[in-house]
Amino acid sequence: MTFDSIATATVPIAEHREPAFVHEEQNVAARQRLENYVSTHGRRPNILVILFDDVGWGDFGCYGGGVAVGAPTPNIDRLARDGLLLTSCYSEPSCSPSRASLMTGRLPMRHGLLRPPMYGQPGGLDGEVTLAQLLGDAGYVTQAVGKWHMGENRESQPQHVGFDDFYGFLSVSDMYSEWRDPYFFPEIAYSEERTRWIENQPFNRCFVHAVKGGDTEDVEEVTIPVLSTLDDKWATYSRDFIKRMSGGSQPWFLYHCTRGAHFDNYPLEKYLGASPAKHPYKDTLIELDDIVGRLVETLRETGQLEHTMIFVSSDNGPNMETWPDAAYTPFRCAKGSTWEGGVRVPGVFAWPGMIDADHTTDGLFSFTDMFPTALALAGADAAMPDDRFIDGVDQSSFLLAPEGRSNRKYQYYWLQNQFSAVRVGEYKLMLASISDDDRDVQSLGGFEGVAQRYPYGRLYNLYLDPKETRSYLVRKLAYIDSFTSGIRDHFKTFGKYPPRHPITR
Least distance (Å) between residue 147 CB and Ca ion: 8
Least distance (Å) between residue 464 CB and Ca ion: 29
- Across the strands, what pairs with 350? 310
Distances from the Cα of 439 to the Cαs of 113, 252, 467, 469, in angstroms? 31, 48, 11, 7
Q: Which long-range contacts (CB under 8 A, 24 or more apart) does 24-32 make?
A: 25/401, 26/397, 26/398, 26/401, 26/404, 26/405, 27/397, 27/401, 29/397, 29/400, 29/401, 29/402, 30/396, 30/397, 30/399, 30/400, 30/401, 30/404, 31/397
Angle at the Cα of 425 from the Cα atoms of 424 and 427, rounded to 5 degrees: 70
> How many other C-beta atoms can be found within 10 angstroms of the C-beta atom of residue 169?
27
Rounded-to-integer distance, Cα 109 and Cα 417, Å:
6
Q: Give the residue from 85, 44, 73, 46 showing the smallest Cα distance to 256.
A: 46
Stretch that binds Ca ion, among 17-25, 49-57, 221-229, 383-391 (CB under 5 A): 49-57
Q: What is the DSSP letter of 273?
A: T
Applying CB under 5 A, which of residues 130, 142, 156, 316 lies at the interface with Ca ion?
316
Stretch that binds Ca ion, among 88-96, 189-197, 383-391, 416-424 (CB under 5 A): 88-96
One of 62, 89, 95, 333 is an active-site residue; which one? 95
Q: Is 505 helix (H, G, I), strand (E, B) or coil?
A: coil
List of E strands, 15-64: 46-52
Stretch that binds Ca ion, among 48-56, 212-220, 263-271, 444-452 (CB under 5 A): 48-56
Site for Ca ion in 217-246 (CB under 5 A): none
Rounded-to-integer distance, Cα 366 and Cα 263, Å:
25
Rounded-to-integer distance, Cα 162 and Cα 144, Å:
10
Stretch that binds Ca ion, among 62-70, 315-323, 351-359, 388-396 (CB under 5 A): 315-323
Rounded-to-integer distance, Cα 491 and Cα 485, Å:
10
Rounded-to-integer distance, Cα 317 and Cα 137, Å:
33
Least distance (Å) between residue 16 CB and Ca ion: 29
Length of the chain: 505
Rounded-to-integer distance, Cα 252 and Cα 248, Å:
10
Least distance (Å) between residue 341 CB and Ca ion: 13
One of 149, 256, 262, 279 is an active-site residue; which one? 149
Indicate the residue among 237 and 447 with the shorter CB distance to Ca ion: 447
Q: Is 160 a catalytic residue?
A: no
Rule CB under 5 A: say whether 95 interacts with Ca ion: yes
Rule CB under 5 A: say whether 337 interacts with Ca ion: no
Indicate the residue among 18 and 340 with the shorter CB distance to Ca ion: 340
Indicate the residue among 171 and 418 with the shorter CB distance to Ca ion: 171
Stretch that binds Ca ion, among 51-59, 347-355, 456-464, 469-477 (CB under 5 A): 51-59
Q: Is 149 a catalytic residue?
A: yes
Least distance (Å) between residue 125 CB and Ca ion: 16
Applying CB under 5 A, which of residues 18, 53, 232, 289 lies at the interface with Ca ion?
53
Closest residue to Ca ion, Cβ-based? Answer: 95
Least distance (Å) between residue 400 CB and Ca ion: 29
> Binders of Ca ion: how many residues, by CB under 5 A?
5
Applying CB under 5 A, which of residues 5, 34, 54, 393 lies at the interface with Ca ion?
54
Indicate the residue among 51 and 401 with the shorter CB distance to Ca ion: 51
Kindly list the residues in this chain that would bind Ca ion in the complex (CB under 5 A).
Answer: 53-54, 95, 315-316
Q: Catalytic residue numbers?
A: 95, 149
